[in-house]
Structure 1
Amino acid sequence: MQASLKRTFGRSGLEVTAMGFGTAPLGNQFRAVPEEDARGVIQHAWDSGLRYFDTAPMYGHGLSEHRLGESLRAFPRDEYVLSTKVGRLLKPVPQGGLTSFFWVDMPPFEVVHDYSYDGCMRSFEDSLQRMGVSRIDILFIHDIDTFTHGTELQKVHFRTAMDGGYKALEKLRSEGVVKAIGVGCNEWQVCEAALRERDFDCFLLAGRYTLLEQDALDTFLPLCEERNVSVVLGGGFNSGILATGAVKGAHYNYSEASPEILARVARIEAVCATFEVSLAAAALQFVLAHPAIATNVPGTRSQKHLDQNVALIGRPIPAEFWAALKKEGLIRDDAPTPG
C-alpha cells in the first residue's frame, strides 16, 4: 500500500489518496503550530503525493480552514479533493471575551451549533470564503453524536440535521456545487441511523473502526458496501495508544487508557514483536483493508510526523501477522486484512 495510491470514493466520481491530510492540528488545537510550519507541512503533504485534504470550521475556530485554503491556492484545483463540515457557525466575540477549553491562540470566535437548513447553507458559504475556493468536493454534517452533545441534546440535533441540514446538502449536491455529502462523527451507530434515513454518499468515522474496535462490522460497514457508500477513517490510533503502545499515560478516546485497554494493546504489541511489525503501521494499514474505507486521515502536525505515517502505510506486513492476531482473538475473524 502506498499513501499516494488513488482509490475510488464510492459513487461520487471522486478519487482520494489512501492517506489523506487531516488539518485539525493546524487549527492550533492543543498546541500552537507557527504559520510557517503550517504552510510547510501542507506543501510537504502535496510533495508526498497526498491529494485529499480534510478540514472543518471547528478546527481552531476557522484557523484550519484559513491556513489550508491559503496553501491550496498554489495547487491546481482539479488535482485535489477537499472536504469540510457544517453544523457549527462561528460568531465573533469581543477581544478578551473568548472562553475555550483550548489553551493556545485562535481567532476570536465562539462556536454556535446550527444543523438547520439555513445554518448549514451559511456554514458552507462561510467555509468557501475562509478557504478562498469556489467549490468543496465533500461536505459532512459534523458531530451529531452523543459523544459531543449528550443523550438528550443529540436527539434534537440529529433530527434537525436529518430534516433541515440534509436538505441543504442535498440541494448543493443536486446543483453540482458539492459532489458528495455525508456525516462525520465519533459513533458508527449515528452514521448508520443517518444512512438508513437519508441518501448519503459517505461518512467520516473517527476512531470507531480500529485494531481495538470492530463493532462497525456488525451492520454499519456492510450497509455501506451494499449502498456503495465510502468511509473516511479518522482517529485510527484511537487518539494515541495505537501509535505509542501500552505506555504509562497512553491515551485512548481522548482520555487516559484503562488497565483493560492497556492490557489488550500489550497483547497486540507482543504479536507485533514476534513478526517484527510496527504497531502504528498495523493500525494504519488494517483499516484500509476494508472495501468500504477509501482513505485513512491521521491528523498531522509536522513534516516529520507526516513522513512517519507515509512510511508506515507503505511498510510490508506479512499475512501471517494478521492470521496470528485473529488466532489470538485480538481482531475479529470477519475483519478484512491487507493482502
Structure 2
Amino acid sequence: MKTRHFERLASRGITFTELGFGTAPLGNLYRAISDEEAEAALEAAWETGCRYFDTAPLYGLGLAETRLNRFLRGRKRDDYVLSTKVGRLLRVAPPQERTGIGKFFDTPTRREVYDYTYDGVMRSVEFSLERLGIDRIDILYAHDLDVFNHGSKEALKVKLEELMRSGYYALLSLRDQGVIKAFGAGVNEWQPCQWLAEHGDFDLFLLAGRYTLLEQESLETFLPLCEDRGIGIVLGGPYNSGILATGPKPGAFYNYSEAPKDILEKVGRIEAVCERHGAKLIEAALKFPLLSPLVCSVIPGGQSADQVKANRAILDADIPAELWSDLKAEGLMHPAAPTGLPGR
C-alpha cells in the first residue's frame, strides 16, 4: 500500500498508509460483533498493508481500545501508527445511564463525561494507554468539538475555550516531551477546526465527512489555512455515512440520518458522471480525498474482514482523470478541488 509522509516539526515525522483503519465499528457501532470478528477485521487490515489505526475511548466505551490491545500485542511498536482521542472520560454508570444506547451495543455500562481540561487530557491518555496495553501513542485528537455533539454554538464555544485555556497545554507538553508526535482534533465539522487552527499550534485534523466527493465547502477557507500552516488532514467518513457507498437509494444515510431529497439528487448526478466513465461511485468517493496533497490518510470503517478487503480493492481501482474535470464542468465539484490534472 502507498504511504504518505507527514512532517511538520523537525524529527517528528509520521508515515501514514493511504488507507487507515477506523475502529468505531469494533466498538459495536450499530450492531454487536464478537471478539473473533473484530480480530479478523484487524488482521485483514494488516494483510492489506494498512498500518494506521485510529481509535477513541468513545468507541464502545473502551471496547475498541481493548480489542486493539489484543491485536497489537506482539507487533513491533514502530511498525504501525496509532491515534486515539481525548476530551471524554468514562465513568461507571447504571445500565439505563450508559452512553450510546441505541448506537453502541453490548458495551460496558459507562457514561461519558466531557473534559477538555489539562487534568482531563492527562487522565484520558493514562486510561487509553492502559486499555491499549502500549506505552506510546503517536497522535492525540481532541474529540468531537462540534455543534453536533454539544448541541449549540454557545455550548461549543465553552468547550473550545476550555480546551485552549487548559487541555491545550497538556497536549503541547506531551508533544514537547516527545510522548506524542503530533496532536489535533477529530471533528465532524470544519468550522471548529478552523477556529482551533487560528488559535493554536495544531498538527493534524481528523475531519469526518467534510471533504468528500459530495462536500467541499471546507476548500473556501479552512483547507487553504491548513496549507499555509503545514497542517495535515486525516479524512474520516469518505462515504458521508453511507450514501457515497450505496448510491442515492431510498433510505440512504447521509450524516447519520436519512438523506434529504436534495442530497439524493446531487449524488444521483455524481453517480451518472461516474457511470459515463466506467467508474463506480464508491471508487470515486474513496479516491477523491487522496487527490489533495493535504490528506495524509483516508479511514473508512470496516466491521468485517470482507468489508476491509473490499475497501482495499476499491482503493486500487483506476479512475479516469476526465471524470474529475467533468464533475467540475457540471458544477458538481468545487473549482479549487485538486484533481491531479495539470494546473488543477
Amino acid paired to 2:14: L
Gapped regions of structure 2 (runs ≥ 5) = none
Cα distance in 2 between the residues matched to 1:143 and 1:97: 20
Gapped regions of structure 1 (runs ≥ 5) = none
Cα distance in 1 between the residues matched to 2:318 and 2:123: 46
Cα distance in 1 between the residues matched to 2:102 and 2:156: 21
What is the aligned partner in structure 1 of residue 63 from structure 2? 63
The Cα shift of 1:300 comes to 1.0
What is the aligned partner in structure 1 of residue 301 from structure 2? 299
What is the aligned partner in structure 1 of residue 39 from structure 2? 39
Cα distance in 2 between the residues matched to 1:10 and 1:220: 19
The Cα shift of 1:98 comes to 3.2
Cα distance in 2 between the residues matched to 1:97 and 1:149: 18
What is the aligned partner in structure 2 of residue 136 from structure 1? 137
Cα distance in 2 between the residues matched to 1:25 and 1:338: 32
What is the aligned partner in structure 1 of residue 210 from structure 2? 208
**Which of 3, 14, 34 in structure 2 is aligned with 1:6?**
3
**Is 1:112 aligned with 2:113?**
yes
Cα distance in 2 between the residues matched to 1:122 and 1:130: 12
Amino acid paired to 1:336: P
**Which of 264, 277, 280 in structure 1 is aligned with 2:279?**
277
What is the aligned partner in structure 1 of residue 123 from structure 2? 122
Amino acid paired to 1:138: I
The Cα shift of 1:93 comes to 2.0
What is the aligned partner in structure 1 of residue 322 from structure 2? 320
Contact 1:225 1:291 in 2 (8 A): no
Query: TM-score, normalized by length of structure 2?
Result: 0.95
**Which of 248, 260, 263 in structure 1 is aligned with 2:262?**
260
The Cα shift of 1:29 comes to 1.4
Contact 1:210 1:286 in 2 (8 A): yes
The Cα shift of 1:95 comes to 5.8
Cα distance in 2 between the residues matched to 1:74 and 1:277: 40
Percent identical among aligned pairs is 53
Cα distance in 1 between the residues matched to 2:84 and 2:254: 25
Amino acid paired to 1:304: D
Cα distance in 2 between the residues matched to 1:260 and 1:94: 42
Contact 1:209 1:287 in 2 (8 A): yes
Contact 1:234 1:297 in 2 (8 A): yes
Contact 2:60 2:104 in 1 (8 A): no
**RMSD of aligned residue pairs (Cα, Å):** 1.2
Q: How many residues align?
A: 336
